[in-house]
Amino acid sequence: MFLGIPAIAGRDNESIITNGVPWFDSDGNIINAHGACIIEDGGKYWLFGEYKSDNSNAFPGFGCYSSSDLVNWKFERVVLPVQKDGILGPDRVGERVKVMRCPKTGEYIMLMHADNLKYTDPHIGIAVCDSINGDYRLLGTIEYDGKPIKNWDMGTFQDDDGTGYLLIHHGPVYRLSDDYRSISAKAAHIDGMGESPAMFRKNGIYFMLTSNLTSWERNDNYYFTATSIEGPWEKRGLFCPEGSLTHNSQCTFVFTLTRNGEKIPIYMGDRWSYPRQASAATYVWLPMQVNGTSLSIPEYWSSWNINGIRKQTLSGETKIHDWTSDKKGEKLRIPFHGKRISIIGESNSQSGYALVSIKDKEGKILHSQYVDFYSKVPDLSPRYVSRLYPEDDYMLEVEVSGENPVWSDKKGNVFGSKDFFINVSKSIIEK
């Protein structure tokens, strides 16, 4: 389906998106953009997301990155920091930031979910800016019928005619006014919707993606279609294999990539990792296949090439380790000579956080972070792909941290791992 798209020149591994591993920006820092969206503007791609912390779920700001290829990202800045007070003041929640450029005014409009830490004071906030990566000014909450919208998960959609929409969990779809600063009407209510709404349009069909309600845990997301935003909307079922828990992710946005005149919807999902969201929560981006009203991501591509839109495995010298431990402090040490190292391991419901670090030949720590090995459904895939270093001798250490992702939802249901296991089956070294 995606064959026939010629590759653009460039080193192969520099064009690969590897899902479920931390990504690094051009400064070597972890890309911190959760509940994200991408817009194309001024010849670049812009990624906006929650600039999470590892220590608390309190709003730490929304970040912005730019890229010319969707793989290599430059950190621009935190475009909306914690406010002095109000809906995004200290000890509040800010999630699912979405940005659109209003075609009529040229202004950039940012919409988001704002809440208290218990998620009992939800609002949809609005911020604006004259430049895409400037300081966004929080205007307040967006209202419908004279009242603030007291809902949490949200998304946005910009139709081909420039009309903007605000999508709300469990059904409402609001049409924005011409200046995108307010709501002009309720366009639809999609019965049967869940959380994390994400919409796109292809060949005259509107697709709406949504997740079930399982806190930070993944579930089998599903979708609806319609030939008009107003509906009728028809529930179509799952778009990933049943039981894969949406390839272990929760939808947040669909970015339509235009390549050689073809429009390719790219699924963007979150693989949350509570409580270490900043370092250990990762992203799952995959091209979606559309055939009429049928939508699917039939296979999980742990790595794929953005140029050819094709599955691609990581290449390099492969070493087998078959190392497993759940004893806090136990370490696997992998000395290597090269530019980059990747580790492949199993994640499952007994897995915990690893502390992964890279040291230079003098023993100086160049990088250290938590890596999440937990997943409800077992999966053998890359868990860590280092940034590119100058070719040299290095040591990779994988340590059992003795911590695991465990959390509870508003009702007190407990989710997450039952043990602290880390498994490294092999490593791949790129020269």
Give me the least distance between CB of 217 and ligand DGJ, in Å please. 9
Pick the binder of ligand DGJ from 22, 62, 98, 153 (CB under 6 A).
153
Is residue 128 within 8 A of residue 107, CB to CB? The reply is yes
Pick the binder of ligand DGJ from 32, 210, 215, 246 (CB under 6 A).
215
Give me the least distance between CB of 321 and ligand DGJ, in Å please. 34
Using left for φ > 0, alpha for ψ between -120 and 50, and beta otherwise, residue 84 falls in alpha
Residue among 96 and 339 whose Cβ is closer to ligand DGJ: 96
Based on the shown chain and the rule CB under 6 A, indicate whether residue 246 belongs to the binding site for ligand DGJ. no
Residue type, 262: E
Residue among 196 and 351 whose Cβ is closer to ligand DGJ: 196
Residue among 211 and 427 whose Cβ is closer to ligand DGJ: 211
Alpha-carbon gap, residue 335 to 395, rounded angstroms: 4
Give me the least distance between CB of 91 and ligand DGJ, in Å please. 16
Which pair of tokens denotes residue 51?
């600039």
Residue among 173 and 358 whose Cβ is closer to ligand DGJ: 173
Using left for φ > 0, alpha for ψ between -120 and 50, and beta otherwise, residue 72 falls in beta
Q: From residue 16 to residue 55, what is the string marking binding to ligand DGJ with x (rule CB under 6 A)?
A: -------------------x--------------------
Give me the least distance between CB of 324 and ligand DGJ, in Å please. 30
Give me the least distance between CB of 312 and ligand DGJ, in Å please. 30
Residue among 283 and 394 whose Cβ is closer to ligand DGJ: 283
Which pair of tokens denotes residue 17?
């998106």
Based on the shown chain and the rule CB under 6 A, indicate whether residue 210 belongs to the binding site for ligand DGJ. no
Based on the shown chain and the rule CB under 6 A, indicate whether residue 196 belongs to the binding site for ligand DGJ. yes
Across-strand partners of 246?
none
Is residue 229 within 8 A of residue 206, CB to CB? The reply is yes
Give me the least distance between CB of 58 and ligand DGJ, in Å please. 13
Based on the shown chain and the rule CB under 6 A, indicate whether residue 195 belongs to the binding site for ligand DGJ. yes
Is residue 400 within 8 A of residue 325, CB to CB? The reply is yes
Give me the least distance between CB of 38 and ligand DGJ, in Å please. 18
Name which of 81, 19, 21, 27 is nearest 50 in CA terms. 81
Q: CA 280 → CA 145, 288, 352, 371, distances in Å?
A: 40, 25, 11, 5
359-418 residues near ligand DGJ, rule: CB under 6 A? none
Residue among 118 and 364 whose Cβ is closer to ligand DGJ: 118
Return the C-alpha torsion angle 149, 78, 49, 417, nearest 10: -110
Give me the least distance between CB of 20 and ligand DGJ, in Å please. 18
147, with CB counted inside 10 A (0-12, 13-18, 19+), is exposed
Based on the shown chain and the rule CB under 6 A, indicate whether residue 95 belongs to the binding site for ligand DGJ. yes
How many residues bind to ligand DGJ according to rule CB under 6 A? 9
Pick the binder of ligand DGJ from 165, 216, 255, 373 (CB under 6 A).
216
Residue among 174 and 216 whose Cβ is closer to ligand DGJ: 216
Return the C-alpha torsion angle 337, 401, 50, 200, nearest 10: 80
Q: From residue 293 to residue 332, what is the string marking binding to ligand DGJ with x (rule CB under 6 A)?
A: ----------------------------------------
Name which of 155, 193, 202 is nearest 174 in CA terms. 155
Give me the least distance between CB of 152 and ligand DGJ, in Å please. 6
Give me the least distance between CB of 284 and ligand DGJ, in Å please. 15
Residue among 397 and 409 whose Cβ is closer to ligand DGJ: 409
Is residue 301 within 8 A of residue 372, CB to CB? The reply is no
Q: Is the dihedral of CA 355, 325, 274, 280 positive or negative?
A: positive
Using left for φ > 0, alpha for ψ between -120 and 50, and beta otherwise, residue 254 falls in beta
Residues binding ligand DGJ (CB under 6 A): 35, 95-96, 152-153, 195-196, 215-216
